[in-house]
Copies of this chain bind each other. A is one copy, B any other.
Amino acid sequence: MIGGIEAGGTKFVLAVGPTPTGIAARHVIPTRTPAETLAEAMEWFAGQASIEALGIASFGPVDLDLASPTWGHITRTPKPGWSDCDLAGHFARGLGVPVGFDTDVNGAAIAEAAHGAGRGVSSLAYVTVGTGIGGGLVLNGQPVHGAAHPEMGHVFVRRAVDDTDFAGHCPIHGDCLEGLASGPAIIARWGQLLSHLPPDHPAHERIAGYLAQLCYSLFAMTAAEVVVLGGGVTKAPGLLDRVREGAGALSNDYLPGGARHRIEAPGLGENSGLTGALMLAEAARAARS
């Protein structure tokens, strides 16, 4: 058996199972202080069949540098109490098993590439659009870390010419993508969730247009075959089709990858991140043996 944790800012999702897609038991706990949250998670794993390895797909920013003394830590976060939390070390010591560690969105990306909407492709971006906007990237079949990990919610997109009456909701960048298209930005602007606004409300076209720019930029910059769009905002009816249309218009049939570029909903539903966590556990077990 292997174990997985999708560590999020509002909840931790825990699971054990024989394989990444065979979840035998699953449990959700609310995210509170690190001490409370990690203790409750440890307690749950103690009551399960014993596991040979654990994978953690975590909210960020995190340290993914295997040569760093703070590998597996959450680094500088505005979330009270969580800065410098040694997430990987806590469970490695507590459970006595090898631990694999990556961002929540890189976890979702490896899972969607292996078992979800991108099954069979070697390049895929997973973007979640919810409380914030974050993205993970698999290229050449491997999760991308680089200098740390992508932070693709904070790219700048071109404002629509008639969209000048909203300064943006990001405390760092104002009207970066997250400042325009995250759930809180939509509520700050229109007072409602996107899915609660009527289908002819201009918000749908705005948000789709900004997300289309991210998708097109990912295609143009990384040549990724598939962009998976997850998170609450992307569930608004018709949104994905609008995003596809917008990205197609931006490309104007130019990109050499052509129809190999696709924009998809998560193939694993709500389980992309958790499945990714279990894949990280599998990799950690393989690396140990």
Interface residues of A (CB under 8 A from B): 60-62, 75-76, 122-123, 135, 137, 139-140, 142, 144-152, 154-159, 172-173, 213, 216-225, 250, 252, 254-258, 260-261
A149 touches B221 (CB 8 A): no
How far in angstroms is the closest Cβ of chain B from A284? 18
Residue of A149, A152, A217 ringed by the most chain B CB atoms within 10 A = A217
How far in angstroms is the closest Cβ of chain B from A119? 16
Residue of A76, A152, A154 ringed by the most chain B CB atoms within 10 A = A154
This chain: how many copies in the complex?
2
How far in angstroms is the closest Cβ of chain B from A214? 8
Chain B residues, Cβ within 8 Å of A219: 147
A220 touches B151 (CB 8 A): yes
Give CA–CA (A220, B157) in the complex, Å: 12
B139 touches A220 (CB 8 A): no
Which listed residue (B152, B156, B255) contacts A158, Cβ 8 A? B156
Main secondary structure of the interface of A (DSSP, over half): loop
Give CA–CA (A61, B260) in the complex, Å: 15
How far in angstroms is the closest Cβ of chain B from A164? 10
Give CA–CA (A122, B66) in the complex, Å: 13
How far in angstroms is the closest Cβ of chain B from A240? 19
Chain B residues, Cβ within 8 Å of A173: 250, 252, 254
Also in contact, A156 and B257, with CB within 8 A (given A222-B146, A224-B147): no
How far in angstroms is the closest Cβ of chain B from A65? 9
B139 touches A217 (CB 8 A): no
Closest A-B pairs by Cβ, 5 of them: A147-B257, A146-B223, A148-B256, A61-B256, A147-B260
A257 touches B139 (CB 8 A): no
Chain B residues, Cβ within 8 Å of A224: 146-147
How far in angstroms is the closest Cβ of chain B from A186? 20
Chain B residues, Cβ within 8 Å of A157: 156, 158
